[in-house]
Amino acid sequence: METTAHTPSPSPSPTRTPSAGRPLKLAVVVASNREGRFAPVVADWFTSRARRHTGFTVDVIDPARTELPTALTGDPSPAHREPLAEVGARLAAADAFTVVTPEYNHSYPAPLKNLVDWYHAEWHAKPVAFVSYGGVSGGLRAVEHLRQVFAELHAVTVRDTVSFHQAWGLFGDDGEPLDPAGPDGAAKKMLDQLGWWGRALRTARAEHPYAG
């Protein structure tokens, strides 16, 4: 019996959202505005690694360089509306966040809580990673508290973190870690996870707006 070969039809190309190939917009949120703070050393180190990582553009949001009011209100004064709107627009534009935080009294700094609480939908359905620093705990207790806060804001926190224990002795005068292999490896692993979640959630938000 003669048979006729059947040529299968080509499979349709996978649907790609318009944003699929765009770099992720990563907002690095600095937690501390304390006088004499160590935060810029850690934040500068991390942002340099994030900029080297494929797929991210980086925006640093620093409470020491903003004028957000400390009293929450639904009707901020005219003087405060502009900085609130400016920070809000940057958070809304972000696809992912990394919080750089020390540990103050077993938790995270008040300026960070103030910045977080002024906004709501800007955090929704986006991933958050953490870089922490401190004494023997490396800021990890601050991170554990922040995971609960961001869960309440409908954000997703990635598992892996970067932490610096006894941080003040780990960096040289040039702002680079004295032993970079461990921190650089931890940062790459965390950024890989953040990138996966950032792309997945950006696509999901574009196709199905989040109903938070």
Contact 30, 64 (CB under 8 A): yes
Give the pLDDT mean for 167-171: 98
Q: Which two tokens stand for residue 23?
A: 């770099």
Contact 23, 56 (CB under 8 A): yes
Residue 90 within a domain: yes
Residue 152 within a domain: yes
The pLDDT tens digits of the residues spanning 21-79 come to: 799 999 999 999 999 999 999 999 999 999 999 899 999 999 999 989 999 999 999 99
Residue 44 within a domain: yes
Residue 2 within a domain: no
pTM of the model: 0.90
Q: What is the pLDDT of residue 13?
A: 42
Q: What is the pLDDT of residue 20?
A: 63
Residue 76 within a domain: no
Alpha-carbon dihedral of residues 86, 92, 97, 103, nearest 10 degrees? 50
Is the pLDDT reported for residue 6 higher than 90? Answer: no
User: Which of helix, strand or coil describes residue 59?
Assistant: strand
CATH number at residue 92: 3.40.50.360
Q: What is the pLDDT of residue 128?
A: 98
Residue 77 within a domain: no
Q: What is the pLDDT of residue 212?
A: 81
Domain of 186 in residue numbering reads as: 24-68+82-207
Residue 7 within a domain: no
Give the pLDDT mean for 165-193: 98
E-only strand ranges, 73-170: 96-102, 127-134, 156-157, 162-165
Percent of the chain whose predicted confidence (pLDDT) is above 70 = 91
The pLDDT tens digits of the residues spanning 107-152 come to: 999 999 999 999 999 999 999 999 999 999 999 999 999 999 999 9
Residue 192 confidence class, pLDDT cut points 50, 70, 90: very high
Q: What domain count does the chain have? A: 1
Residue 16 within a domain: no
